[in-house]
Amino acid sequence: MSKKMKKYIWKISTIIICFSISSLVFAQTKTTDECLACHVELDDELLTPAQNYINDIHYKKNITCAGCHGGNPNSDDTEISMSEESGFIGIPDKATRYEVCVNCHANDETMNNYNSSLPTDQFDKLKISIHFQPSFDNTGPITDCITCHSVHNISKVDDPRSKVYPTKIVSLCGGCHTSADIIKNYNPALPIDQVAKYKTSVHGKLNISGDPNVAECASCHGSHDIFASNDPRSHVYATNIPEVCAKCHSNAELMKGYNLPTDQYDSYNKSVHGLALLEKGDISAPSCNDCHGNHGAVPPGVESISKVCGSCHVLNMELFEKSPHQKAFTENDFPECETCHGNHSIRYVTDDMIGTQESAVCIECHSSDDDNNGYFVAGKMKMLIDSLKNEDKATKEILEEATQKGMDISDSEYSLKDVRQILIQSRTTIHTFNLEKFKEKINEGFTIVGKARQAGTDAVDDYYFRRVGLGIATIIVTILVIGLYIKIRRLEKKT
């Protein structure tokens, strides 16, 4: 092969390579959109959509203006491109404009054709949500796809420009939810303070400062499937909330940056409150938001999180506030109820908690060489509880014996039911941390037990007394019968 020939082949192959590369590149560039091309030359509301559209996610996916408006995007002649025959629909009617979005986003096949792995359930969720009711002035649903995502400049939801990006969404939802004028047309009783309160919470403060990882409106309420908060389908319904919070608070990766533990959900699940709510379905037990508030820093009516228990355990709180611990705990910065009961892992109480034995919470702070009498009181309270329980048990045994002997002591048996009640109340009275007051309560139990025990003993005595009486009576009757017999024999012999 001549040098010239080689050069020639080299040149040709270079050209071929260049051509294929360039055609590859060409295939990657946008198919021309004549709609866009013409509209960028127009004015005002005909221009703006075109200008914005260049940043739209749909533009990046090669979707032309005709993707939503119909028409023929390959013609630069308005007669053809925007003709009815080519399927041009003009400006979609406000009431049904969401249909253009749903055409693709609810259609698995279409979305597959765009190589999209996005879920296609947004409309199925939205159409049953509270937001898809007809608006009060009948101009369509309260919110549709465009209310939340905008149009012509739609971004991916994790793009900071998106209207639903975590740091933007508060003003989106707040746009309606801070406006009495809007909300009163639907539900005048619905508060409009969520945004204001949210801004006082840890979540809200960090959100305002630009942190996209904290909870915002949609991370708690969901986005397309939003329901009234008392609807069991709502993400914020009592039994659903723990999982909503756990999505983030049990996520070690996410929480690493914040130095927060991630055990709240696991602990709560096993606690007396978690078991009551999630297993027994008892909605009087607190969910995460009952203690932490829905939107604000603390729940309404509670000045600090350490007072939150008192919103349900009213009596324990009242007694605690009058107790010597109130002042001592405040001075030492001990949280009120948590110090002894914990917060997420609260368990059913047992009598092992009180006293001076190893399992007692009291000995964490009180010891026998303290000069205050906390240690003494703890021991004494435990002693009184144990002794009432023992007396109660012993009395029950006596009553049992009497019953077996056929004595009627049902009144006394019934009165012992009150002792159980008094033991329960004494455990509440512990929170006075005052021995005299505690004694007042528990002594009611001793009085009842004392009476019942007396009645039981009397009944048993009675039984023995009757048995002796019966014995004597039997002997007398026997003697009488024998006497009678002898008398009859004698009379018979005489005749």
Residues 68-97 interacting with ligand HEC (rule: CB under 6 A): 68-69, 71-73, 76, 78, 81-82, 90-92, 94, 97
C-beta of 390: minimal distance to ligand HEC in Å?
Answer: 15
364 binds ligand HEC (CB under 6 A): yes
Measured between alpha carbons, how far is 235 from 226 in angstroms, rounded to an integer? 8
212 binds ligand HEC (CB under 6 A): no
Give the number of residues in contact with ligand HEC, rule: CB under 6 A. Answer: 174
Q: Which is nearer to ligand HEC, 9 or 349 (CB)?
A: 349
241 binds ligand HEC (CB under 6 A): yes
Q: Distance between terminal CA atoms of the chain?
A: 172
- Count how many residues are written for the chain: 495
Contact 94, 135 (CB under 8 A): no
398 binds ligand HEC (CB under 6 A): no
> In whole angstroms, how far apart are CA 208 and each of 77, 168, 172, 297?
49, 9, 14, 15
177 binds ligand HEC (CB under 6 A): yes
Contact 220, 203 (CB under 8 A): no
389 binds ligand HEC (CB under 6 A): no
Out of 350, 417, 490, 492, the residue judged to bind ligand HEC by CB under 6 A: 350
Q: What are the structure tokens assigned to 89, written together? A: 């629909």
Q: What are the structure tokens assigned to 23, written together? A: 């055609």
Contact 445, 419 (CB under 8 A): yes
Touching ligand HEC, residues 23-52 (CB under 6 A): 34-36, 38-39, 42, 45-46, 48-50
Touching ligand HEC, residues 265-324 (CB under 6 A): 265, 268, 272-273, 276, 282, 284-286, 288-292, 294-295, 305, 308-313, 316-317, 320, 324
Candidate ranges 366-374, 443-451, 457-465, 486-494; the one touching ligand HEC (CB under 6 A): 366-374
Determine phi and psi for 177, rounding to 5 degrees: -80, 0
Measured between alpha carbons, how far is 43 from 151 in angstroms, rounded to an integer? 18
Measured between alpha carbons, how far is 217 from 57 in angstroms, rounded to an integer? 24
Contact 426, 349 (CB under 8 A): no
472 binds ligand HEC (CB under 6 A): no
C-beta of 88: minimal distance to ligand HEC in Å?
Answer: 6
C-beta of 258: minimal distance to ligand HEC in Å?
Answer: 4
101 binds ligand HEC (CB under 6 A): yes
Q: Which is nearer to ligand HEC, 289 or 412 (CB)?
A: 289
Q: What are the structure tokens assigned to 55, written together? A: 């940043």
Touching ligand HEC, residues 403-432 (CB under 6 A): 427-428, 430-431
Nearest Cα neighbor of 452 from 440, 460, 441, 442 is 460
Measured between alpha carbons, how far is 204 from 173 in angstroms, rounded to an integer? 14
67 binds ligand HEC (CB under 6 A): yes
